[in-house]
Amino acid sequence: MEEILRILEEDCRLSAEEIASMTGKSPDEVKATIEEYERKGIIRRYKTVIDWEKLGEEPVIAFIDVRVSPERGVGFDDVAERIYRFPEVRAVYLVSGPHDLRVQVSGKSMKEVAFFVAEKLATIDRVQSTNTHFLLKRYKEDGVIFEAPEGDRRLAITP
């Protein structure tokens, strides 16, 4: 049931009992379904969207557009793999447009990220160029708007 996934995507801390009453299924059924999703890898992991900036500890994030010369047989996959194996790399996407791979890298400082790009990414065979964009401000991430939510403006009782 996709409904369970939609509910978890919004709040993965809801209990099986709570999800059961929302979907009209039994708690055991919900538990079994979730376990199956986990086993099949449909649920990859449970994560938390954190506003690190509020804590004053925001890691430095950069989006790096990478141009790669593709190779017969493997295309971009082998270069992508070389890149995504680095723990500094948070995401790698193959994209259309003037660049081929869009890489998201995190580090403690701009310098650390810049060195990672210069020493590790740019030097990979078949990487032709890199173009680094540092993240300055987060407005919305994973569907969550990073602004104080607005209160309920409705009257308390209406017909």
Per the CB < 8 A criterion, the answer to whether 34 and 25 are in contact is: no
Judged by CB under 8 A, the residue of 1, 21, 74, 95 near another protein is 21
Residue 55 or 155: the one with the smaller Cβ distance to another protein is: 155
151 touches another protein (CB under 8 A): no
Residues 6+ apart with CB under 8 A from 134: 60, 61, 62, 110, 113
CB of 22 to another protein, least distance (A): 4
Contact status: 7 vs another protein (CB under 8 A): yes
157 binds another protein (CB under 8 A): yes
d(CA 17, CA 133) in angstroms, rounded, equals 44
User: Binding segment for another protein among 28-36, 76-84, 120-128, 148-156 (CB under 8 A)?
Assistant: 148-156
Q: Per CB under 8 A, does 142 bind another protein? A: no
49 vs 156 by CB, closer to another protein: 156
Q: Does 8 bind another protein (CB under 8 A)?
A: no
Whether the Cβ atoms of residue 119 and residue 73 lie closer than 8 Å to each other: no
Give me the residue label for tokens 């890898």. Answer: 41
Sign of the Cα torsion 51, 111, 66, 135 reads positive
Interface with another protein, residue 124, by CB under 8 A: no
What residues make contact with another protein under the rule CB under 8 A? 3, 6-7, 11, 18, 21-24, 150, 152, 154-159
